[in-house]
Amino acid sequence: MTIKPILENWRGFVNESSLSRMHQHIMEHDCAILTAYRNDVSDLSACTANTNEPDEGESNKSRNRDLKATLLAMGVGVTKVDGSYIEDFDTPKAVEVSEASLFCVNLKDDKNFAATIQRLGEKYCQDSVLIIPKGGQGAYLFGTNNAEFPGYGSKVSVGDVKFGEESEFMTKVRNRPFTFNESAALETYQDLSRNQRMAVKAIAREFLEEQKLVEAE
């Protein structure tokens, strides 16, 4: 089934200092937004065979910590953004979810960046990940589980990134709002202490080995 672009509105809104940072990152590198949060961590009904089954009692906070560690170990720049969206959109299980998402910057300009972000979305059973190509044109959602929207493997255009003067940047697709507020400066592997580097590599090792990815140095 072909899914036509259904963007109703894409606006980039960040405060002045964040605007400059995010605009620079998006103009210079591929970027993405994703999270490990799910409203019900134990509900694996929409997940694929590549999803990691959560440990008993595992929290969204710990899942996002592990996701961030994996991204840092890959050499990806990361900053936290506060997100809000509708999980299981357009189904009887639809629920509004507030979550801590991660804005990711492909600092190494890895040609496989988008594919790796998609695999991480699948690992954490996300409905989709948001990919923002370098320059901000042609951003899109990519489905990473079997939820009805956007659908596994489906690519849905959300248009071009634009920047304004308010404090958030938002997309709305099929009346489904995504709102993100940047909360910190970009963090990189090089910013970590020796012990922190050892910790993130330990957390990320299994995924990096599975995907045959090179650790940051």
Write out the DSSP string of 168-200: -EEEEETTEEEEEEE-S--B-GGGS-HHHHHHH
Query: Confidence class of residue 75 from pLDDT cuts 50, 70 and 90?
Result: very high
Strand residues in 41-168 grouped as ranges (E): 77-87, 95-105, 128-132, 139-143, 155-159
Tell which wins on pLDDT, 64 or 59: 64
DSSP 21-66: HHHHHHHHS-EEEE----SSTT--TT--TTSPPPPTT--HHHHHHH
Using CA atoms, how far apart are residues 118 and 40, in angstroms rounded to an integer?
21
Dump pLDDT digits (tens) for 128-169: 899 999 998 888 989 999 888 889 999 988 877 765 444 334
pLDDT of residue 166: 41
Residue 176 clears pLDDT 60, i.e. is over it = no
pLDDT of residue 184: 64
Share of the chain above pLDDT 90, in %: 32
Mean pLDDT of the region 31-35? 91
The helix/strand/coil state of 80 is strand
Burial 107-126 (b: 16+ CB within 10 A, else e): beebeebbebbbbbbbbbbb
Tell which wins on pLDDT, 51 or 194: 194
